[in-house]
C-alpha cells in the first residue's frame, strides 16, 4: 500500500427492418446481461452495467484523515473503520488501494476537486456546503455530540442539559464542540463554564482520557468517537446527547456519479452489510480494557 498515495414525430404502427434488428440486438444484450446477473447475483447487475460505461480503475486513489474512527496505525498495521470498509470494496472489485492522508477535511475535499484522489473514505457531513462539492455515497451514518462524564464522579450524573449551568466543560478551541457549547450556553441564558483547550497540545481523545483520570470534569465529543473510546474507558458515561444528529457518508467528486453509484450498489449487498456489522462491533462495542484479545474479531472476507 502506498500511503502517499493513491449516460418528434408521429408514432408509427410498423417498425422498419432496421428497427427490428436493433430491438433484437438490445433484447439479446439484455438476455446476456440477465444471465450474467443470475450467475453473479442481482446486486451486481447495476454495477456491471455502469462498468461498461465507466470501467473501474486498476488503482483506486483514496483519501482519508488520520483519526481513531477512520484510519490509524496500530502495531505497524493500518486500521480504522473507514479504512477497513474501503479495503473490502477495493478487494471485491479487484482494485489496488492507494491511500493518501489529508491533514483536514477541507484539504481532503480539495484533493477530490483537483482530481488527485477518486474517493474520500471519511465521514463527510451531509450539509448544503458539502453537497455543492461532493456526491455522498456508501453507507450513511448519523452521529451527534455527547457529554462525556465519569460514571462515579464527585457529583451526580448530568441527565439534562440545563444541569450544565455552573459546571466546567473542557473542549478543543475553534472546534464544532466549542460552537455547540456556546450556542447551548446562550440558549440557557449563560452559566456554563467553558474552557478552550489548545488543539496543538491535546485532542478529543486526550480529553476523554483526562475525564477518566479525573483531571478534568467534563468534555464533549461526537458519539462515534465516544463509543470507540468508551471501549477503553468503561468508567465513562456518554448517554447525554447535546445536539441534533448529523448525517455523514463517503464522498466522490461531482463529476464521478458513476463511481458513487458503483459504491452505493456494492454497499447494499449482503456481504458488505455483514462486514460493516462486524467492524462496528469490533471498533465501537467490544471492550479494549478487559482481557487481552477481546477486541480480536474475525472479519469475513
pLDDT at 15: 38
Q: What is the pLDDT of residues 28-74, one digit of tens each?
A: 333 333 333 333 344 444 544 454 567 899 999 999 999 888 999 98
The CATH number of whichever domain residue 171 belongs to comes to: 3.40.190.10
Residue 32 maps to a domain: no
185 and 167 in one domain?
yes
Task: Show the domain range for 234.
Answer: 145-243
Cα–Cα dist 135/256, whole Å: 8
pLDDT at 248: 95
Residue 20 maps to a domain: no
227 and 102 in one domain?
no
pLDDT at 204: 85
Q: What is the pLDDT of residues 136-176, one digit of tens each?
A: 999 999 999 999 999 987 889 999 999 999 999 999 998 88
- Report residue 190 CA to chain centroid gap: 34
pTM for this entry: 0.70
> What is the helix (H) or strand (E) element at residue 201, kind and residue range?
none
Domain tally for the chain?
A: 2
Q: Which of 91, 102, 101 is nearest to 56 (CA)?
A: 91
Residue 94 maps to a domain: yes
Cα–Cα dist 31/40, whole Å: 14
237 and 151 in one domain?
yes
Query: What is the chain's length?
Result: 301
Amino acid at each position: 500500500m502506498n500511503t502517499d498515495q493513491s449516460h418528434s414525430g408521429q408514432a408509427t404502427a410498423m417498425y422498419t427492418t432496421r428497427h427490428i434488428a436493433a430491438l433484437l440486438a438490445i433484447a439479446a444484450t439484455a438476455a446476456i446481461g440477465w444471465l450474467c446477473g443470475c450467475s453473479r447475483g442481482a446486486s451486481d447487475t447495476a454495477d456491471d452495467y455502469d462498468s461498461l460505461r465507466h470501467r473501474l480503475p486498476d488503482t483506486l486513489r483514496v483519501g482519508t484523515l488520520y483519526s481513531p474512527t477512520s484510519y490509524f496505525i496500530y502495531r505497524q498495521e493500518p486500521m480504522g473503520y473507514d479504512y477497513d470498509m474501503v479495503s473490502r470494496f477495493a478487494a471485491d472489485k479487484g482494485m489496488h488501494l492507494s491511500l493518501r492522508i489529508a491533514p483536514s477535511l477541507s484539504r481532503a475535499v480539495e484533493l477530490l476537486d483537483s482530481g488527485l484522489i477518486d474517493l474520500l473514505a471519511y465521514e463527510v457531513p451531509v450539509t448544503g456546503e458539502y453537497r455543492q462539492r461532493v456526491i455522498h455515497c456508501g453507507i450513511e451514518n448519523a452521529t451527534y455530540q455527547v457529554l462525556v462524564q465519569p460514571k462515579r464522579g464527585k457529583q451526580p450524573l448530568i441527565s439534562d442539559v440545563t444541569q450544565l449551568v455552573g459546571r466546567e466543560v473542557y473542549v478543543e478551541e475553534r472546534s464544532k464542540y466549542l460552537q455547540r457549547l456556546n450556542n447551548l450556553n446562550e440558549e440557557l441564558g449563560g452559566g456554563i463554564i467553558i474552557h478552550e483547550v489548545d488543539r496543538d497540545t491535546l485532542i478529543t481523545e486526550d480529553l476523554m482520557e483526562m475525564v477518566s483520570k479525573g483531571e478534568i470534569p467534563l468534555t464533549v465529543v461526537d458519539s462515534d468517537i465516544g463509543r470507540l473510546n468508551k471501549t477503553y474507558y468503561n468508567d465513562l458515561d456518554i448517554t447525554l446527547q447535546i445536539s441534533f444528529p448529523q448525517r455523514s457518508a463517503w464522498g466522490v467528486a461531482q463529476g464521478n456519479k458513476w463511481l458513487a453509484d458503483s459504491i452505493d450498489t456494492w454497499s447494499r449487498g449482503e456481504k458488505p452489510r455483514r462486514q460493516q456489522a462486524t467492524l462496528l462491533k469490533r471498533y465501537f462495542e467490544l471492550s479494549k480494557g478487559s482481557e487481552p484479545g477481546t477486541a480480536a474479531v474475525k472479519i469475513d472476507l
